[in-house]
Amino acid sequence: MEKKFNVTGTCIPRKHYMVDTTEKINKIIKLIDNEEYFIINRPRQYGKTTTLFLLNNKLKQSQEYLPIKISFEGIGDLVFENESRFSKGFMRLLERTVEFEDVELANFISLNMEKTESLDDLSYFMTKFIKKANRKVILMIDEVDKSSNNQLFLSFLGMLRNKYLLRNEGLDCTFYSVILAGVHDVKSLKIQIRSEEEHKYNSPWNIASDFDVDMSFSTEEIGTMLEEYAGCNNLIMDIPKLSDRIHFFTSGYPFLVSRICKTLDEKIYHDNKKNWSIEDIDKAVKLIISEVNTLFESIVKNLENNEELYDLVKRLLINGEIILFNALDSLINLGLTYGIFKQGISGIEISNKIFEEIIYNYMLSKSRTTYKDMSKYNFKDKFITNEGGLCIEKILLKFQQFIKEQYSHIDAAFIEREGRLLFLAFIKPIINGVGFDFKEVQISEEKRLDIVITYNNFKYIIELKVWRGEKYHRKGVAQLSDYLDIHGMNKGFLLIFNFNENKEYKKEVIIENNKEIFTVHV
């Protein structure tokens, strides 16, 4: 069987090219050895199910453990009607899982099933089951989100919690370790109990230890999958360089890493296996950004379902605001849960470049009907140089003309609110299909938003900022000069939004520390 890259369901080592996650699995086993109960709560398609599969296989290699991996997904809603149905349903899942490893233990579960009518009966059965197994029984429950809005499931977690506490006091026998996996952290579930208006916070799982294992893939870990691929196909590739580029776009988000690799293997190269290039990784990313998949749909849906979260993302991504990271902030925590945010050096950031493009493109598409006659100004061919690069000067001056002719002074409030998004919408058709425009928020009093454009083999930096006076302007120019120096560039571009009534639409060239900064005021 020829291996392939997998982006759906569980990754199987004999069938799929996979990142070597041995170090992560070993860290999880250390938690198990410490008798911890914990939650693997990570965003969608973050490798949770594959991790449980690999963990289960690793634990099976030792006679010391009896791992039991189950999921409530696909068993229907009837099991949650009452305690009797739930208890029997849970035991049936145990039986079906255990019979592959221990028929005698499976029969023991079956014999006890009919007389188990309540959670209290189930608790007593668990005690007998653990004694009968005479091993360290590890319970893993995947997809707990499917049941987490159900009071009966929370009561079940509360029962496990109580047995855990009694076990520690030497008064009960229970699972050696329990692992729950899902998107949400069930330590602090918010569920509907009585009516649509009345809600209650429950903490049925406050015994859970912190799960600090980094589930994202590092550059080195991505390299292990590329090495396997290269070895199987007799290729000689610059693994570190390629891994670094994939990590640049994905920040190690497991689905996105595999998606890039799968796109390269099956769409860029087809059946013609050859060494990968950085340019082809970029092509793969462009294809992925243009596709529709369940992960991208989920990101958009989560933004659409929460107006406050949408506004926060827009302030961060489009307006260039610095928003301090605080995981206790419910809105920020929600963004982390959905995989939209990550903790950056200066505050929260969009979790990876691909999500940034997906969200940015979606926000542009929502706003396109608001913008007047833009297509008359940003026709792509006007801005391409003979060398295949971009003439940024022409782009900025054309944008200035567009604002001056299409938005009068009565639109000043709109421009102040939407100016950055307006410019991003203006340049998008120009670079679309060839380049990227990455947004980099910079710390300053002027809420700088730097746009780093890569187009073919060319790179450009455009800073967007609001005019706050000459003092801040000079400081901003110096900061842009330093930023250019970091990127090893001698020329940059500055677009200033000036909302003073007596503003002047002008252009100028500023020389700062031997850096040339072409500046346009709108």
According to the model, what pLDDT value does residue 434 have?
86
Strand pairing category for 136-142 and 65-71: parallel
Q: CA 54, CA 424: separation in Å to the nearest integer?
A: 43
Residue with tokens 């380049």: 435
Token pair of 398, please? 């054309």
Q: CA 353, CA 437: separation in Å to the nearest integer?
A: 10
According to the model, what pLDDT value does residue 192 have?
38
Report the candidate in 508, 512, 456, 519 with the shortest Cα–Cα distance to residue 484: 512
Environment class of 2 (CB within 10 Å of its CB; exposed 0-12, middle 13-18, buried 19+): exposed
Residue with tokens 């145990």: 94
Contact 425, 404 (CB under 8 A): no
Q: CA 219, CA 345: separation in Å to the nearest integer?
A: 19
According to the model, what pLDDT value does residue 189 have?
55
Amino acid identity for residue 357 in this structure? E
Contact 212, 72 (CB under 8 A): no
Q: CA 393, CA 404: separation in Å to the nearest integer?
A: 17
Domain locations in the chain as residue ranges: 22-202, 219-291, 292-370, 372-522
Q: CA 32, CA 178: separation in Å to the nearest integer?
A: 8
Alpha carbon 501 to its chain centroid, in Å, reads: 43
According to the model, what pLDDT value does residue 149 have?
65
Contact 428, 365 (CB under 8 A): no
Q: How far is CA 396 from CA 11, 392, 509, in A?
A: 47, 6, 13
According to the model, what pLDDT value does residue 311 have?
95
pLDDT by residue for the chain (522 residues), tens only, comes to 789 999 998 999 999 999 999 999 999 999 999 999 999 999 999 999 999 999 999 999 999 999 999 998 877 788 888 999 999 999 999 999 999 989 999 999 999 999 999 999 999 999 999 999 999 999 999 988 877 667 888 899 999 999 999 999 999 999 999 999 998 877 655 443 344 444 444 567 888 999 999 999 999 999 999 999 999 999 999 999 999 999 999 999 999 999 999 999 999 998 788 999 999 999 999 999 999 999 999 999 999 999 999 999 998 988 878 899 998 999 999 999 999 999 988 899 999 999 999 999 899 888 765 666 788 898 888 999 999 999 999 999 999 999 888 876 666 777 777 788 889 889 988 998 788 888 776 655 455 678 999 999 899 999 998 888 888 889 889 989 999 998 899 999 999 998 887 788 999 999 999 999 999 999
Q: How many CA atoms lie within 13 A of 46 on its CB side?
A: 23
| 3-state secondary structure at position 404 | helix
Sequence-distant (6+) residues with CB within 8 A of 402 are 374, 377, 378, 426
According to the model, what pLDDT value does residue 371 have?
65
According to the model, what pLDDT value does residue 517 have?
97
According to the model, what pLDDT value does residue 271 have?
77
- Quote the strand ranges of 72-107, DSSP E: none
Token pair of 259, please? 């998606």
What CATH number belongs to 22-202? 3.40.50.300
Sequence-distant (6+) residues with CB within 8 A of 22 are none
Sequence-distant (6+) residues with CB within 8 A of 116 are 84, 87, 88, 91, 122, 125
Dihedral-angle region of residue 221 (phi above 0 means left; psi in -120 to 50 means alpha; beta otherwise): alpha
Encode 421-445 in three state secondary structure. Answer: HHHHHHHHHHHCCCEEEEEEECCCC
Token pair of 201, please? 């916070």
Strand pairing category for 435-441 and 348-350: unpaired
Token pair of 179, please? 């692992």
Amino acid identity for residue 270 in this structure? H
Contact 243, 252 (CB under 8 A): no
According to the model, what pLDDT value does residue 372 have?
64
Strand pairing category for 199-202 and 435-441: unpaired
Token pair of 217, please? 């893939």
Interior/surface letters 430-441, b for 16+ CB within 10 angstroms, e for the rest: bbeeebbbbbeb
